[in-house]
Amino acid sequence: MKRIVEMFIEKISKILADRSLMKKSMAVYIPIIAIPIVVFYIYAYQSLSSNARKDAIAELNYEINVESDAIEKNMYIMRNIVSTVDRDKKLLDFIAFEEDKDVKYLISFSDEKYKQLIGLQNNNPAIKQINIFSRNSNINEFWPIIYAEKRVAHNNWYKEVLSKDGAEYWNINHYDDDIKTETMFHQQNSDLIVSLNKVMKYSGSSIGVIRVTMKAEDFFPNMYKEEKLSKRQMYLINKNDLTIKTNEKNTVINDYGFDIVRFKEFLKGKLTGGRGEATYSQDGEEYIVLFKEAPMVDNYLVSIIPVRSITQSITESMSVLIFVAVLCLILLSIIIYFATKALLRRFYIILKAVKQVRTGDLMPAIPVYGTDEIGVLAHNLRQMMKTIDTLIKESINKEVMTKEAELRALKTQIDAHFLYNTLENIRMMAVVEENFMVSDCLASLGDMMRYNMKWNNEFVPLKEELNHIKNYVALMTLRYDYRINLKVDIDSTFLDKLILKLTIQPLVENAVKHGISEKLRDGDGNVVISIDSDDTYIYLTVEDDGRGMDDEEVKKLQGHIDGNMSTSYGLGLKNVNERIKLFYGDKYGITVESKKEVYTKIIMKLPKQDN
């Protein structure tokens, strides 16, 4: 450890050795203030996070207890209703009686028992519905209470109830749109519910099923409490088969990407005892898990909360604290800066002299003397300025002689601006004479000359190269009887891509001279410039609909382009190919495709990403 500290100090010393006195002083001061701030921040953050974690666990325990009490109360209400209905002999007689009932009996039943059932349902606001499904084939239905068995016999839950043979069956978090109806006048809303189901018996025989339902949001109030959905998730989990029931719309499941399957694997063997606590991690996210045995047999209430949601407000508060600390550190640094500057007054006199040298005064006054470091520095600076002054005078003499030679060379060159201005004057004369063809051609020629002579960089945006091609085609059209139609089929995303200057013109020139020149005697010719791309390359294609070539001619031309020189072909395409390989590499270049009397394509392969 000691060796590591020594190496660290040595490394810092080397870094600061070449720094200014001001920077050295600041480098010493800032850590002295910053390190205690960082230590305090870490301690405060850990302390606050620990307390927040404890508070969150306490809150989760309270919520689980409240949820357990609410479930127990709701189960009691639903069981009490089932018990009340199951003990009503007149109702059981109506359900079990298979012979046809007269009108008087039905009216009496409706006025008494049916209204009694409706009242029983309405007197319990948390109850959504009371349903009786009779196995009696001759049952008279009283919607929405009494139904024939055939309306729900197809449902799995109904079969499960019958298999219980009189025992309770709790069906948790399912939808209550399962009563099969054949009329539009009886429509039910599809709500997520919890239902208590039990077989009704009469004289020892099964006569039907009673179902009492409650909305899931009423049965599990904390599981569906809106103000808590973004902070935690509550589940009802069967400890035997790990069947999970929860609020699927909760943001913890959706926003945190919570994987239920992995969570089930984690819970295996942990749901034991009355209650417990665990920590669970998934995809870098840490969760606190609390569980408690639920009033339902073999079921546990499990609540999870992301640790990030607990510490988020603390992190924000500490960020504000750090911001304030950094701001104070900056203000103190400014104060120290000016205090140190005052102590280094003689040094700043020398700095001022150096700034004068930068402005051109090579012999500034440096009224600093002495035998200390700053005095020696001032003396050496004065001597250095004398030496520099001598060297600059010698350099100026050499530069003057060089400029004179350059001026003599420039006199032998043609002034490009004179040519541009002359072309512009001729173009204006053509405009005055209303000879617009000549005017347009001169404008195109002037643009081409500017483009060719302005060579600031080897690379230009593709759109500039295309404008040059358009001027070139406009001039070439004058040579032929018919029009050269230039079509540019390039997506706008490629127009700003940098390409080698004057690489497309030789391709277009080849297409006009060797492809469509003969065709232009009898009709228009077409030249198409397009771009395709894949993940690595772009393919710029110049295609004409001229005379084309057979496979043998294509092979010879490709060989010439690739370096097998042939006097039968020019140097335009070969030079372009060599420039591409020089700037981009050997895997790029030009390839030729053609079909006799149909078309010729010259494809330029370039990198997709600018290097």
In a domain, 338, yes or no: no
Q: Is the domain of 214 the same as that of 298?
A: no
Note whether 387 and 362 are within 8 A (CB).
Answer: no
In a domain, 37, yes or no: no
Worst-scoring range by mean pLDDT, 389-393, 409-413, 499-503, 560-564? 409-413
Q: How many CB atoms lie within 10 A of CB 85?
A: 22
Domain of 592, CATH number, reads: 3.30.565.10
Note whether 366 and 378 are within 8 A (CB).
Answer: yes
In a domain, 333, yes or no: no
Worst-scoring range by mean pLDDT, 12-16, 327-331, 595-599? 12-16
Going by C-beta distance under 8 Å and a sequence separation of 6 or more, which residues neighbour residue 419?
449
Q: Is the domain of 550 the same as that of 434?
A: no
- Count up the domains in the chain and report the number: 5
Q: Is the domain of 264 the same as that of 209?
A: no
In a domain, 553, yes or no: yes
Tokens of 294: 């639920």
Q: Which of 156, 189, 218 is the last residue of a domain?
A: 218
Continuous segment of H or E residues that includes residue 286: strand 285-293
The pTM assigned to this predicted structure is: 0.50
Q: Is the domain of 273 the same as that of 152?
A: no
Q: Which of 192, 219, 191 has its CA nearest to residue 296? A: 219
Q: Is the domain of 460 the same as that of 532?
A: yes
* Position 367 confidence tier, pLDDT thresholds 50, 70, 90: confident
Q: Find the domain containing 440 and state its range.
A: 414-449
In a domain, 187, yes or no: yes
- Looking only at the bridges linking them, the beta strands covering 525-533 and 484-489 are parallel
In a domain, 69, yes or no: no
- pLDDT(604) > 90: yes
Per-residue pLDDT, 606:
92
Q: Is the domain of 359 the same as that of 280?
A: no
Q: Which of 396, 424, 449 is the last residue of a domain?
A: 449
Q: Is the domain of 178 the same as that of 263?
A: no
CA–CA distances in Å: residue 419 to residues 189, 410, 428, 445, 587: 86, 16, 14, 11, 41
Q: Is the domain of 252 the same as that of 363?
A: no
Continuous segment of H or E residues that includes residue 190: none
Q: What is the pLDDT of residues 387-396, one digit of tens each?
A: 877 777 766 7
Q: Is the domain of 211 the same as that of 227?
A: no
Cα–Cα distance for residue pair 286/280, rounded to 1 Å: 6
Q: Is the domain of 287 the same as that of 431?
A: no
Tokens of 498: 């940098």
Q: Which of 313, 336, 365 is the last residue of a domain?
A: 313
Of residues 388 and 451, which shows the higher confidence score?
388
Average pLDDT over residues 185-200: 77
Domain of 259, CATH number, reads: 3.30.450.20
- pLDDT(425) > 60: no
In a domain, 240, yes or no: yes
Mean pLDDT of the chain: 80
Q: Is the domain of 491 the same as that of 574?
A: yes
Q: Is the domain of 205 the same as that of 263?
A: no
Q: What is the pLDDT of residues 404-417, one digit of tens each?
A: 444 443 443 344 55
Q: What is the pLDDT of residues 212-243, one digit of tens each?
A: 999 988 899 888 876 555 578 888 998 888 88
Q: What is the pLDDT of residues 123-137, one digit of tens each?
A: 888 899 999 999 888
Range with top average pLDDT, 244-258, 385-399, 527-541: 527-541
In a domain, 285, yes or no: yes
Note whether 381 and 366 are within 8 A (CB).
Answer: yes
- pLDDT(401) > 60: no
